[in-house]
């Protein structure tokens, strides 16, 4: 009986490993590029007031558009998205301007990205989004929490600040 | 000529060391708690940063000083009115997003002794103000934490409210 259980557990483990390898491979080669929402509930604190429905969908749409523009090196789209007053975190020790952010994003070699645990809070024309981001650059995967703030203008939504605190794994 | 230069360099170094010690000791004992602007050209601010000056910069310093003073004084009422309903913050790497309620809880339970803002950069368009600065905070007179901070504010009919805040602090043991 015990050996049957052990074999079952081993089989389960092997299947999980296979899934994990396939997922990571897909992430590497840019196959997966659109975020899943609340796939892993762990990092979100229990008493977080999460808006759902349209606000959450809007948040995912905006962030996916932003990261797709980064992935495709779409300068026009990035210029439209980043507001004139934009400031961002360029790394752990520096804050960067709009121009520097665009330069940095255009120089990046993003091959895939995955958004998870998206939390969106909105009040009128201001939308704050936090999520867990995993990006793959060449052979490196960088995961980390992300926060971005958006405002609604007559030309659509624009990002006014952005912080991605990623750690290279 | 060379020895005169050496003496000058030595004297300059000694003065800088004294100033540094004086600064750190005043920071410990809570004497300094209002930000200086661009006093020290700390290299984290890139040279081609387009910063707004004048009233916008003054407004940014005032708002951030009010916020950190409320944290220092554990002023729940003031913090509640500063943080917008949609406020979110970013915690440690493994924590991720922090809600308004959690942020207020964390700030109220912190032991902020004093703080110093420097290299304040403010960019504003209409009712949105983005502020970045280098923050040094002293907690419990034993730890100094410093690092870049980035916050976004919006103007409402009740005044300016903070909608997001990120502070990546690194502790420096003394």
**Which residues in chain A are contacts of B89 at CB distance < 8 A?**
147
Interface-testing mutation among A38, A45, A58, A85, with chain B (most B C-beta atoms within 10 A): A85
Residues B70, B25, single domain; the answer is no
Output the CATH code of domain A32-164.
Answer: 3.10.450.50
**Which residues in chain A are contacts of B151 at CB distance < 8 A?**
161
Question: Tell me, what's the ipTM?
Answer: 0.70
Joined together, the tokens standing for residue A36 give 């899943």
Residues B26, B75, single domain; the answer is no
The pLDDT, as a whole number, for residue A6 is: 61
The pLDDT, as a whole number, for residue B23 is: 45
Residues B65, B1, single domain; the answer is no
The pLDDT, as a whole number, for residue A37 is: 38
Nearest-Cα residue of chain A relative to residue B131 = A87
Closest Cα in chain B, distance from residue A12 (Å): 27
Tally of domains in chain B: 2
Residue range(s) defining the domain that contains residue B21? 1-31
Q: pLDDT by residue (tens digit) across B56-76?
A: 999 999 999 999 999 999 999
Residue carrying the six token digits 């005043």: B26
Closest Cα in chain A, distance from residue B39 (Å): 17
Residues B70, B105, single domain; the answer is yes
Higher pLDDT residue, B114 or A90? B114
User: Residue B170 — pLDDT band, cuts 50, 70, 90?
Assistant: confident
Residues B24, B14, single domain; the answer is yes
| Contact residues for A111 (Cβ-Cβ < 8 A; gap 6+) | A28, A29, A30, A71, A136, A137, A138
Note whether A151 contacts B128, CB cutoff 8 Å.
yes
Note whether B46 contacts A97, CB cutoff 8 Å.
yes
Q: Give me the CATH number covering residue B53.
A: 3.10.450.50
> What residue ranges of chain A have pLDDT lower than 70?
1-53, 91-93, 168-169
Residues B100, B133, single domain; the answer is yes
Residues B126, B115, single domain; the answer is yes
The pLDDT, as a whole number, for residue B162 is: 98
Q: pLDDT by residue (tens digit) across B97-113?
A: 899 999 999 999 988 98
The pLDDT, as a whole number, for residue B51 is: 52
Residues B23, B36, single domain; the answer is no
| Contact residues for B83 (Cβ-Cβ < 8 A; gap 6+) | B100, B103, B104, B161, B162
Closest Cα in chain B, distance from residue A165 (Å): 7
Nearest of A89, A48, A83 to residue A62 by alpha carbon: A83
Residues B10, B67, single domain; the answer is no
Nearest by CB: B86 against A89, A92, A128: A128
Calculate the CA B7 to chain-centre distance: 36
Q: pLDDT by residue (tens digit) across B78-98?
A: 999 999 999 999 876 666 789
Helix (H, G, I), strand (E, B) or coil at B100: helix
**Which residues in chain A are contacts of B98 at CB distance < 8 A?**
45, 130
Residues B54, B136, single domain; the answer is yes
The pLDDT, as a whole number, for residue B4 is: 57
Residues B40, B27, single domain; the answer is no
Question: Is the confidence at residue B130, as pLDDT, over 80?
Answer: yes
């Amino acid at each position: 009986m015990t050996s049957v259980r052990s074999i079952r557990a081993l089989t389960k483990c092997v299947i999980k490993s296979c899934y994990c390898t396939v997922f990571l491979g897909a992430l590497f080669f840019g196959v997966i590029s659109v975020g899943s929402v609340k796939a892993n509930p762990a990092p979100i604190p229990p008493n977080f007031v999460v808006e759902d429905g349209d606000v959450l969908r809007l948040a995912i749409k905006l962030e996916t558009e932003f990261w797709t523009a980064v992935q495709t090196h779409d300068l026009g789209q990035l210029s439209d998205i980043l507001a004139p007053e934009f400031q961002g975190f360029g790394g752990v020790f520096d804050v960067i301007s709009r121009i520097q952010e665009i330069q940095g994003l255009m120089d990046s070699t993003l091959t895939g990205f995955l958004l998870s645990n998206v939390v969106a809070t909105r009040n009128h024309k201001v939308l704050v989004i936090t999520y867990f981001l995993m990006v793959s650059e060449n052979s490196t995967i960088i995961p980390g929490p992300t926060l971005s703030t958006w405002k609604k203008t007559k030309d659509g939504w624009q990002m006014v600040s952005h912080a991605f605190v990623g750690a290279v794994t | 000529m060379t020895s005169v230069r050496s003496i000058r360099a030595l004297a300059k170094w000694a003065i800088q060391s004294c100033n540094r010690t004086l600064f750190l000791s005043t920071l410990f004992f809570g004497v300094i708690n209002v930000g200086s602007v661009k006093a020290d050209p700390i290299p984290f601010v890139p040279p081609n940063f387009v910063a707004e000056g004048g009233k916008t910069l003054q407004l940014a310093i005032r708002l951030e000083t009010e916020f950190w003073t409320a944290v220092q004084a554990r002023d729940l009422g003031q913090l509640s009115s500063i943080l917008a309903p949609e406020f979110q913050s970013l915690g440690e790497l493994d924590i991720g997003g922090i809600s308004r309620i959690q942020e207020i809880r964390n700030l109220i339970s912190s032991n902020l002794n004093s703080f110093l803002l420097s290299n304040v950069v403010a960019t504003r368009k209409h009712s949105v103000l983005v502020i970045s600065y280098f923050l040094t905070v002293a907690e419990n007179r034993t730890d100094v934490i410093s690092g870049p901070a980035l916050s976004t504010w919006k103007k409402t009919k009740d005044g300016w409210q903070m909608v997001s805040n990120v502070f990546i602090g690194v502790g420096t043991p003394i």
